[in-house]
Chain A
Amino acid sequence: MWTNRSKAPLSRRSMLQTASCGFGYLAFQSLAQSQSSAATGINSGIRPRARRVIFLCMSGGPAQLDTFDYKPQTGKQEKHPGSVFSFAQHGNSGIWVSELMPETARFVDRMCIINSMHADTGNHAQSFLQLHTGERLRKRPSMGAWIQYGLGTENDNLPGFISLNASKPAVYSSAFLPTEFEGTPIGTNGEDMSEATIANIRGDHLPMSAKRRQLDFVQAMNRQHAANRNEDAHLNGVVESMELAFRMQTNAPDLLDLSNETEATLQRYRVGKKLSVGTCRPTDFGRQCLLARRFAEAGVRFIEVNHGGWDQHTNHRRDLKANCETVDAPIAALLEDLATRGLLEDTLVVWGGEFGRPGLTPDDGKDETGHNARGFTFWLAGGGMKQGYVHGRTDETGARAVEDKVHFRDLHATILHALGLPANDLTFQHAGRSHRLTGPDGGNVVDALFA
């Protein structure tokens, strides 16, 4: 039985202390159970394949039919919706990838492509929220917060959840989960990320030892303040957050500083390359991907890397091309580095957006697409997933998923499962009922995706 941590036998204070020492839900379970002499082991019984997640979030609805879901014309006289770009087979797996993703295509044998995603709504804001939190309308904890809640952090000196170029607070929120699981944003949506940093990360008005002494004094007062207020969980969360801020001062500046990367690396990631074409914003996506690798190496649990601008209603060809050009090489460089450094073994890379788009019919002169939540593509890589594998299928025009359909809640369940977390039993009691990332309906772990 998986219970809410706040109902476990340890006090909230000690719970928070353990959380700050890098223990998460699993470790806590074990601790709580061993203290109550009912130890059943440290894990959930699920073999963890991945230790961390890099979520390449393609906001706006990437056009799956022009990238990874190949819909050849079926040879009848009338052309039907499909792609307006050409595709070719790649790698040993022979998976079809469009001409817009030449660099990423080199890693297709590492990828696990799901062509049968579906979601509930074609409304950007709601579907984007559902992708992140499992819930369309209400403020709920984000996937990164749930995962941190489940696993804790691997690096006490950094946030366990970092969102690069985040679009809005709702998608990195911890909502009712303890505040230490909230994501830390670096840069805001659409901003040029080439200079984005963590504000006020340094300050030389006091030596570090004096700052430590100062914070000790503050925290003593804060603890007294919270104690006088029934140990208000939020206030205690702020105490934790202050500690993390303090520790970040020593670690984060180096991580954000790319000056020790070689010119070749910067070039591979296209750091500094910025395209401003229609909906495609000049955000320095390459720098984000390189930072993601560095954060992954440093033990950040959940890293979200955002690229907006996939909502190309008009000028579809031009803007889609620019978006693909922006993300293609940096993603390939990231996969390459993760693979060569052995990190892809236990890092789950997730690529996709809030929904997809209907296909254009070649030669009919149209250059305008809308939203399609009934069938679209995600791909996964690393973290114990199958390699060079395509899962599910949309119908012949790509209009809807028809085989092995995967809903966001199934994707959420699969990601949790890959991390060794019980998809539908990772719960938190709030406002009188039990909540989970996979929502009231629960999600199905897609076993077929695992190697």
Chain B
Amino acid sequence: MESMIADMAGRVFSDHVTHATRSKMAQGEWPTTLWAEIEQSGLPLALVSESAGGFGVAADDALGIMRIAGAHGVPVPLGETMLANWLLAQAGLPLVAGPHSVTDGSGLTLIAKGDGWSVSGQLDAVPWGRNVARIVTMVTHQGANMVVTLPAEGLEFQTAYNMAGEPRDGAQVALSLQADQVAQVDLPSDTLVLMGALMRSLSMAGALETVMTLCVGYAGERVQFGRPISKFQAIQHYIASMAGEVAASRSAADMVAAAFDGPAGHGPVPHLVAAAKLRTGEASQNVAALAHQIHGAIGFTEEHSLHHFTKRLWAWRDEFGTERDWAQTLGKAALAGSSDSFWEFVTGTAPKGVAS
């Protein structure tokens, strides 16, 4: 059973996200009404505590919104905004309305300057950079991990896109920041990249479910040789194989979401994020290939909605670490030290479960 917040998110997306919304966005048109509805619903604050303006729902429920947004191909940075608000709240920085982005800040340098700060360097592939109010990132300053808020109006963007037409802009940064735009946070320095990978894992899990639904629907409707192609065993086995990949992705997403606010600590759990990003990325490869095979030529057209989802899968698996990157991270951890067996490593990573 889906939670109330999941129902609400699903309703907002169903009402305001269509094939046309996604296509227009891919041509550079920001969906103003959609964002206004999302802001109105309060979803951008779902991951923050009630005292910071959230609903007080469990973290795994809140993170589920990112999966549902992925399932609808929601063409705005909702996940990014949720994470930006979470990170700002963790650092005790003020939250403001409007779309936000989160991006890797390892290319930035932070210098204390009087009461404020000076920040400079290069940002690459900032999700929705040109469309957001603020970009939230993390920068290390004298051994401390700082959350840094960059007002987007002060930046000149080099516009770029991912494969799905989502803005991924570059920016040269040279800004003076106020004291209330930077704060130290008690989170590890890789938190931002982990959050990004977690977000894309959840989004991929959602998009994969939609691709599967499209395939089951199409195979049942498309008639060739006098019967729906779903009656052919070859197609049935493609879809069954796809069902396994989709279920594994969903489980991986649930696993990482369940652990977010768990006994293991606060925020993304590195080994679980690595496993989830890798598994959903691999599933994206397998499922997208099968989906296009099942859909035939029509699935290869602009007119059909399949590409909105397969392109997102191909783009998202590359963002915030590829399967190869996360596999190596996990492999290094599994092989490190000599006392623990591989089995102890694997069982030691499991989340402690969610309240049922």
Partners in one complex: no
Residues of chain A having any CB pair with chain B under 8 Å = none
- Chain B residues engaging chain A, CB cutoff 8 angstroms: none
